[in-house]
């Protein structure tokens, strides 16, 4: 499919170039089968030139939805998610959004932008396109808005366009133990898995140079200069992080913030932790209970053909090492006859990438 074309002069909606291969589907239905309203209903769009309306808050926020009956609770849910609820409640008669004006002479740009974002929340479309969604909002509220977007990101597809790198960062940390080399300390010993798609994940820190005095902080840490990515910050990759041991990180924030993971990277991270969990159990000496051996082997067989959607992220040596690790674990599981100790049902990691082996 070619890229979306620019809006021709005089047309009301963006047009799309004809497909020369494949198809765009929504809920299993092709784009051509959807009416204009059904197609546009899939999207929530916030541009830099957001609308400003001489309406009440209720009217301004409810513009986003075709529903005729929108409750005050829904309006407040949208304004609170967009961090607009506080200033709306501070207005005269703020307890009743239907009677609060949002006129241009009363609201500065940041408040207008929050109301525009509240419209997107109330619309609740499956695909959001946000172009500089916090450009007029103060730094503290901006961080809160992006934390809320991160908290609800699994509920939709969100495309964010921003010139500020820190808005695309997350304070969550990855547990990289599965990618360490095996060692004598069972609790810190890794499985030696390849980094694969995770190798190029970008990390931002205030200081990655051990020759420069001072700890490295995440740009989002309260000890950082401006709680933002600035010109003097350092950019690393996870591959570079794993290759060195001389970093001096802040104990509060961990030293860095990272870019969010793609679906492929997240899938691999989860798969790698599942392999490491099986190896951890086998290394503990108690083995796999006999009744669960076939289940564990079936799971290993499911993980064996894992392949990144981006060939550049998964070289032949990574693929070979991945499959070789699974073959070895499969042999060890098959030889395991121990029945002592319960099988762990999951692993504990921090953040949204915690993975649980429910199947086991």
Q: Answer whether residue 187 is part of any domain.
A: no
Highest mean pLDDT among 93-102, 129-138, 305-314, 320-329: 320-329
Q: Answer whether residue 195 is part of any domain.
A: no
Mean pLDDT score of the chain:
77
Residues 37 and 159 in one domain: yes
Q: Answer whether residue 359 is part of any domain.
A: no
- Residue 284 has a pLDDT of 76
Task: Give the span between the Cα atoms of 20 and 341, in whole angstroms.
Answer: 58
Q: Answer whether residue 95 is part of any domain.
A: yes
- Residue 337 has a pLDDT of 53
The DSSP secondary-structure symbol of 260 reads P
- Residue 326 has a pLDDT of 93
Rg (CA), the chain: 25
Task: Give the span between the Cα atoms of 82 and 46, in whole angstroms.
Answer: 12
Assign 3-class secondary structure to 132-170. CCCCCCCHHHHHHHHHHHHHCHHHCEEEEECCCHHHHEE
Highest mean pLDDT among 25-34, 44-53, 150-159, 194-203: 194-203
Q: Answer whether residue 244 is part of any domain.
A: no
- Residue 328 has a pLDDT of 92
User: In the listed set 148, 163, 178, which residue is the last one of a domain according to the structure?
Assistant: 163
Q: Answer whether residue 83 is part of any domain.
A: yes
Q: Answer whether residue 154 is part of any domain.
A: yes
With a cut of 50, say whether residue 353 has pLDDT above it: no
Q: Answer whether residue 168 is part of any domain.
A: no
Owning domain of residue 96: 33-163
Domain count, the chain: 2
| CATH number for the domain harbouring residue 73 | 3.40.50.300
């Amino acid at each position: 499919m070619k890229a979306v074309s620019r809006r021709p002069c005089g047309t009301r909606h963006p047009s799309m170039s004809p497909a020369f291969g494949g198809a765009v589907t929504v809920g299993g239905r092709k784009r051509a089968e959807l009416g204009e309203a059904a197609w546009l209903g899939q999207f929530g769009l916030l541009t830099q030139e957001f609308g400003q309306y001489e309406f009440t808050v209720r009217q301004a926020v409810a513009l986003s939805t075709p529903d005729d009956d929108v409750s005050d609770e829904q309006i407040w849910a949208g304004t609170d998610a967009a961090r607009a609820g506080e200033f709306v409640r501070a207005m005269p008669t703020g307890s009743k959004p239907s009677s609060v004006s949002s006129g241009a002479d009363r609201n500065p740009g940041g408040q207008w932008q929050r109301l525009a974002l509240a419209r997107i929340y109330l619309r609740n479309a499956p695909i959001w396109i946000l172009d500089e969604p916090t450009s007029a909002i103060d730094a503290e509220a901006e961080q809160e808005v992006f934390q809320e977007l991160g908290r609800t990101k699994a509920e939709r597809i969100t495309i964010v366009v921003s010139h500020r790198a820190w808005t695309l960062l997350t304070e969550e940390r990855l547990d990289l133990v599965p990618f360490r080399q095996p060692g004598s300390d069972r609790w810190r010993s890794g499985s030696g898995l390849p980094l694969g798609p995770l190798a190029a994940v970008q990390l931002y820190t205030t200081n990655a140079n051990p020759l420069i005095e001072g700890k490295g902080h995440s740009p989002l840490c309260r000890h950082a200069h401006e709680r933002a990515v600035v010109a003097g910050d350092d950019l690393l990759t996870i591959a570079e992080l794993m290759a060195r041991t001389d970093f001096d990180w802040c104990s509060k924030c961990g030293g860095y913030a990272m870019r969010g993971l793609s679906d492929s990277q997240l899938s691999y991270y989860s798969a790698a932790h599942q392999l490491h969990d099986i190896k951890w159990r086998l290394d503990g000496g108690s083995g796999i209970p006999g009744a669960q051996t076939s289940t564990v082997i079936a799971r290993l067989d499911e993980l064996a053909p894992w392949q990144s959607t981006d060939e550049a992220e998964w070289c032949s040596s990574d693929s070979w090492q991945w499959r070789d690790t699974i073959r070895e674990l499969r042999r060890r599981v098959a030889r395991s006859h121990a029945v002592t100790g319960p099988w762990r049902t999951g692993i504990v990691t921090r953040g949204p990438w915690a993975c649980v082996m429910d199947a086991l």
